[in-house]
Amino acid sequence: MELPELVARLDEELRTDDFAELDASANGLQVGPDEGSVDHVAFAVDGVRETIDRALEADADLLVTHHGLSWGGFDRVTGRTYDRLEPLLANDLALYVSHLPLDGHQTLGNAAGVADVLDLEAREPFGELGPEYIGQRGRASDPYTPETLRETLAADLETGGQPVQLLEFGPDEIEDVAIVTGSGTDWLDEAVEVGADALVTGEGKQQVYHEAKEAGVHVVLAGHYATETFGVRALRSLVEEWGLETTYLECPIGL
C-alpha cells in the first residue's frame, strides 16, 4: 500500500484533524516522505530507541505508536531527539503517531479496550476535553467488589509485574466505571459528577488520594503503559484487515 493512502485511512478512522487544537502531540505522520510504499507495519506504545530498533530488526516500513517524538515541535535536533530521529531517517522507517485520538476512539481506543476487559455495558463517551472525549464510561454486567475490579485488571493488563494500585474509598459494590487511560486523574471530578463508583486510569497525582477519599469514589491506578496497549493493538488488527504484514512490539515498563 502507498504510504499516503495508509496515512489518510488512519487519519480518517482516528479523526486526527479534530484533535489538532487539543493535543500537544503532533498526531499523524511525524516522520516520513511524501511518497513511498508500505508492506510491513510495526506497532508499539512508545516511539523510543528500543522500539525503533526493534521495528528495524523486523524490517518494518512504518512504525505506529501512541506516544511519538514531537510534542509541540523541536527546538533542536540534538541529544535524545537526534538519537531517535537518526535511525528513522537513515533507514527510511516512517513514524505515525496517534495520542489523544487513540485514547478516546470509542471502539478502537485505549479506554474502549479497558472497558472490554471489564465487560462494561451501556457505554458512552467520558473524559471531556473541549468538544471531544478521551475516555469511556459503562456499567458492569455484574457488580464488582473493589478487589475483584483490581484483580480483573491485574490479570489482563501488561503491568510489567507491578501491582495494580487501588484507592479504596467508594461503595462496596461497583457498577458504574469511568475510564481515562494514561494519566487521567484530572477527570475525577467528572467521574463524581456523572455518578461513577470508580475511576480507572494509569497513574495518579498526589492530590488524588484525598480528592477521592473526600468524594467517596474508588480510583484504580493500573499503570500508564498497561492501560495504553489496547489502541495500538486494535490498529494492528485493522491494518492486517487492509492486507499488510504487522508486528506488535511489547515493551512493558511497569509504570
Is position 193 annotated in a ligand binding site?
no
Burial of 193 (0-12, 13-18, 19+ CB in 10 A): exposed
pTM: 0.96
Is position 103 annotated in a ligand binding site?
yes
- Same fold: 3-101+228-247 with 103-224: yes
Spell out the domain ranges in the chain.
3-101+228-247, 103-224
The second-level CATH assignment, the architecture, of 3-101+228-247 is 3-Layer(aba) Sandwich (3.40)
- What are the distances in angstroms from CA 189 to CA 63, 85, 195, 215? 36, 39, 10, 8
Q: Please give the pLDDT value at position 201.
A: 98
Is position 66 annotated in a ligand binding site?
yes
Q: Please give the pLDDT value at position 74.
A: 85
- Please state which CATH number belongs to domain 103-224: 3.40.1390.30
Q: Give the separation between CA 44 and CA 254, rounded to whole angstroms.
A: 15
Other Cβ atoms less than 10 A from the Cβ of 162: the count is 16
Q: Please give the pLDDT value at position 42.
A: 98
Is position 224 annotated in a ligand binding site?
yes
Is position 228 annotated in a ligand binding site?
yes
64: closest CA among 37, 33, 102?
A: 102
Q: pLDDT tens track of the chain, all 255 residues?
A: 999 999 999 999 999 999 999 999 999 999 999 899 999 999 999 999 999 999 999 999 999 999 999 998 888 999 999 999 999 999 999 999 999 999 999 999 999 999 999 999 999 999 999 999 999 999 999 999 999 999 999 999 999 999 999 999 999 999 999 999 999 999 999 999 999 999 999 999 999 999 999 999 999 999 999 999 999 999 999 999 999 999 999 999 999
Q: Please give the pLDDT value at position 177.
A: 98
